Structure 1
């Protein structure tokens, strides 16, 4: 059998041909109407033309959503966003604190927490990821306090449908450092969680006990540079290392145990070299009388790259068990 172009009968003068021509005209007219309608759908409405709102508009106030904002902190405005849970609320709220420099933002956890009924605030510290100002550890501690104060404003709490009396801090890596510092300074924070928290000043304290200050600063500066400084403004590795040395007696986690011994705590660790100091922190809390310390270890890297679902389950289970 030969394969070629099929023969086309001459229908130009037949009734069947006229019917086909008419069908083509109808088809082309319908396509033109559809195209014009599509263009008009994307155009701004003609003034005076009544507009019909989407069917879901009546339920919009209680739907899950997201708001972006800039949070004031010591003369600058921090770039921020809030994942708002569905329902009228008020919802408990998590402040999710990123690490150094903040490549892993943990926004998958934010989405999961929102589905579980929590609002979640994420922000960038001054001098990080486009937020104006100079980055430093002291500034980041201040910025975390500013974020807490922002959520407690009555008009903000109403807008975001959140309960300002149920704020939980969750920090990853350096964000764990910010979590410990901010929670210790604020007794109204009843629960906090750390994910491979970096006790950076505690580590500097240990280094200063074993070597000269200049050598400890140089070693810490090298480690900070290796982490990546590109997303950070107004700082240098050496300057940040000196800042840690200057606060080696006031910022370490073990110095915050007395202030935190009555809080609910979740301390998560990984195979990233930070487990020993985090376990020491958890043990110190328990020895001080804290009966609400939960710990768990994951066989994964610092970013929990292949344990994201397990990480989410651990965080959600802990949040679900917190007092209402």
Structure 2
């Protein structure tokens, strides 16, 4: 399996840029932050959703565009659904949007309320029309679309439609095929009137939300099998980046054939991966989102910013780390407590409002493995005071302490996080967005006022 791991850039405290040591590749691919955590709201250009219709050959098809926050041009993912589209994959689109991408979804002609007649040929044209809509100058300007970074993805039948759109539109930068359906191969199973009837009846339950009949679709497969050959299309899109994801308990054998066809055509940027799940990825949604977003990072490295940082467990102490500079007064901090040995101050990127860091001023321990027990006791005594002050000042029902060593540690100076907890709200260990300095100062003042001797 080919997989490129893109290291996401995580904001360090105070926005300082700290040179990161060279580390070995992680044993497990890191989970992108966008999969498990919401981004900070952009007050001037917040994320949004636009619902509209795209005109295709006189029929209007329904479309949704999830727009990412920020006014800069965004890479954009067009997602094409399967047959008939019961699995919407909206969670995947939302994760992609959290990663900084626009994400568009259409309903083909004759499906789910869109006008017109559903057919495989029409669905192919609908996908191409959606790409054309994304590259229209008016839409580029209105929705902050980067026309050089448009990726087309599809699940099941949508995988075929994605490959078809990418073949037809050279302005598509890359293609994602998720447990794709090679529609044309179905012809091989229609060898008699009885097998044709079986194929029709097998397709009938899925045609309820479609303006067509199973008889018409089976006839189209028999007539146009060569046009519906996904292996051929896989070879034709192999000149651009391609991600193929197969479900081991469903379409993995087909995905392996598609990947082989792409490699035979000289694919230079093919990522092929398989998940132990069913066709709908029912118990692998987080894994699916992670695979897609990690792959998308080739077009936008910030997309794959991850949920954890890490430093070597064993190394020399760096006197220029962020906390050492705060102790020396070279960098500012919103302090809530300080004595001769210990300093407590606000985390600039809090997990919750009131998130405080407690550090030793005298010890040069990088981790828990290095600190002298007496120095550790002083740090923990202050952490206890801070916890009580948070409870008193903020009316908390609980708080937690976190102390990372190596994995999850962003600054190589031992520090204890004292973090307010809100009942019923999960705690995600992610790289959080920087808070407004005014909010940090106000919170520090509240906690300082509640600190007991």
| Interval of TM-score (by shorter of Structure 1 and Structure 2) | 0.7 to 0.9
**Cα pair distance change 1:268/1:136, threshold 3 Å:** same
Structure 2 distance, partners of 1:115, 1:180, is 25
Provide the aligned length of Structure 1 versus Structure 2: 260
Pairs within 5 Å for 1:159-308: 159-204=142-187, 206-207=188-189, 211-212=191-192, 214-226=193-205, 228-233=206-211, 235-308=212-285
TM-aligned CA deviation for residue 309 of structure 1: 0.6
| Greater percentage in helix | 1
The aligned counterpart of 2:81 is 98
TM-score, normalised via structure 2 length? 0.55
TM-aligned CA deviation for residue 215 of structure 1: 4.5
The aligned counterpart of 2:298 is 321
TM-aligned CA deviation for residue 187 of structure 1: 2.1
Task: Choose between structure 1 and 2 for higher RCO, CA contacts under 8 A separated by at least 6 residues.
Answer: 2
TM-aligned CA deviation for residue 161 of structure 1: 0.8
1:120 to 103, 108, 113: 103
The aligned counterpart of 2:116 is 133
**C-alpha deviations, 1:66-99, integer Å up to 9, x for none?**
1111111110111111000011120010001111
* Residues 137 and 240 in structure 1, CA contact (< 8 A), matched pair in contact too: yes
* Residues 101 and 232 in structure 1, CA contact (< 8 A), matched pair in contact too: yes
| Larger-Rg structure | 1
* Residues 196 and 268 in structure 1, CA contact (< 8 A), matched pair in contact too: yes
TM-aligned CA deviation for residue 258 of structure 1: 4.0
Structure 2 distance, partners of 1:151, 1:185, is 15
Structure 2 distance, partners of 1:294, 1:203, is 26
* Residues 181 and 251 in structure 1, CA contact (< 8 A), matched pair in contact too: no
* Residues 173 and 240 in structure 2, CA contact (< 8 A), matched pair in contact too: yes
TM-aligned CA deviation for residue 134 of structure 1: 1.0
- Superposition misfits of 4+ residues, deviation over 4 angstroms: none
Q: Are residues 1:142 and 2:125 paired?
A: yes
Structure 2 distance, partners of 1:199, 1:60, is 45
Q: Secondary structure at the match of 1:197?
A: coil
* Residues 264 and 322 in structure 1, CA contact (< 8 A), matched pair in contact too: no
Structure 2 distance, partners of 1:195, 1:279, is 12
**C-alpha deviations, 1:277-304, integer Å up to 9, x for none?**
2101101111221021111111111111
